Amino acid sequence: MNTIKFLRYKSLIIVAVLLLLSFSRSTAQKVAKQPLVFIQMTDTQFGFFENDQKFAKETENFEKAVATANQLRPAFVIITGDLVNLMGDPAQIAEYKRIAAKLDPSIKLYSVPGNHDVANKPTPEILAAYRKEFGADYYTFKKGDLFAIVVNSGLISDASGATEESEKQYKWLESTFKKAKKSGCKSIVVFQHHPFFLENPDEKDQYFNIPTPIRKKYLKLYKENGVSHIFAGHLHRNSFGKDGEMEMVTTGPVGRPLGKDPSGFRIVTVKDGNINHTYQAL
């Protein structure tokens, strides 16, 4: 090969390498720009439509929700409590698990305890039974730039039956928030069953929110530690409010609705520290 041909050959190789590197960078940037999408479901509550006589409607709704999730292919699905209506009922629990197992194995499913799963006043015995059936009642997980904290809000709403468990969870939360801050994640969110408030952090106490003294204690803890959103259920309809920059998102049920909002679930998009969400009716 003469010198001229060699130089031309070398130039072609350099151009090819540069094009390949440019393509690789472009592809990596496109992948990096993809938002994280997850689905929040809540209150599947098998048995609620017909007073625990049967759960055909809950089966229909949950199967449709899971099938839709399989089509949308989110990073994960989380169900924020009241998995069943009658606590500890074997048939209702079995049906919840049967349909949950239909979720594509590549999509992680996270369960959260609600008051129908661990009672309005949890006890150590009730908590042990829940953990045996569903696993941990409070824990964390990370997905991309999202640091997710799952909380047993039954130990917040009324801790009188399990004070040691409630104190243990609170101390765990304090240490967990420290880890969340050091994680480098741009978004810290909390998933729980009970909303602290429906529209205003100073609203009056009622069945569907957390009592004021406890509410203020936990809202202060959450805000001081950079929580941007709290996702909850319990209300069986949608409601929204803010405490400063922290958003309280209460989502309507997969199961029986108790207001104008139909059965459905929430689709959440996380990108560059920004969180957007919309309710999808079944």
* pLDDT tens-digit readout, 232-277: 999 999 999 999 999 999 999 999 999 999 999 999 999 999 999 9
Q: Is the same domain home to 29 and 43?
A: no
Q: Is the same domain home to 27 and 47?
A: no
Q: Is the same domain home to 17 and 53?
A: no
CA dist 90 and 86 (Å) reads 9
Tally of domains within the chain: 2
Q: Residue 135 in 3-state DSSP?
A: coil
Q: What is the pTM of this model?
A: 0.88
Q: What domain range includes position 7?
A: 1-34
Q: What is the pLDDT of residues 94-126, one digit of tens each?
A: 999 999 999 999 999 999 999 999 999 999 999
Between the alpha carbon of residue 123 and those of residues 50, 116, 143, 153, the distances in Å are: 27, 13, 32, 13
Q: Is the same domain home to 17 and 153?
A: no
Q: Is the same domain home to 154 and 74?
A: yes
Among candidates 269, 278, 241, 254, which has minimal Cα distance to 65? 254
CB 282 within 8 A of CB 65: yes
Q: What is the pLDDT of residues 188-203, one digit of tens each?
A: 999 999 999 999 999 9
Q: Is the same domain home to 3 and 95?
A: no
pLDDT at 160: 97
pLDDT at 10: 52
Which comes out higher in pLDDT, residue 34 or 113?
Answer: 113
